Structure formats: structure tokens, C-alpha cells
Amino acid sequence: MAEETIFSKIIRKEIPADVVYQDDLVTAFRDINPRAPSHILIVPNVLIPTINDVTEADEAALGRMVTVAKKLAAEEGIADDGYRLIMNCNTHGGQEVYHIHMHLVGGKPLGPMLLG
């Protein structure tokens, strides 16, 4: 069993976060260290440590992450100009929290790559 993360506590509302969307499969909240005017994290409500740990049983949640990203991009007013969806995997991929998450980033020109 994977270790619980800060995202698990946000999902359960045990610690404060600016939650912008939540349903039975995913939760989305604003990044506390935004890299762009709009920077939202979208996470599955079940703990999946890395993309390498995804199974076929997780397909509904991962699909929901994308449809929620589309919905939130429209609500944020960044859909027409464009945005970026980023998922990092393990150390070399830049993953910092081992609970998979998708970054929805936009609101300014992002250039060819977004590096931190």
C-alpha cells in the first residue's frame, strides 16, 4: 500500500486548499506555488503513486482528469488561447508528490516547454 500524501488530506478536506472541483473520482485545487496565472492540480481521489502504477481499473479516473481539465480551462477563461496539461513521473520526470496529478497551466504564453 502506498503512503498517504498531502493530496489525500486535501481530498478528505482535512487540510485547507482552494478546491475548485470535486466529484466521486477526482479533486481539483489551485497550486500553492503557481507557475502561471491559472495553475490547478487535478488528482484522482484514490492514491496512485506514479503513472507507472496506473492499471486498467484507473482508466475512468484518468479520463475524468482530462474532462475536468477541459471544463476548468473554460471556466478559467484560458481554453481559447490555450493551456498545458502536465503529468510528471518519478524523480527524473520532476514528480514531487507521489500521488499522480495533472497540472492545468495557462493564462499567459508558456513557450515551447514549462520547466521549473
Residues designated as active site:
101
Task: Quote the CA–CA distance of 90 and 54 in Å, as a whole number.
Answer: 13
Whole-number Å distance between alpha carbons of 114 and 20: 23
Half-sphere exposure of 21 (CA within 13 A, CB side): 21
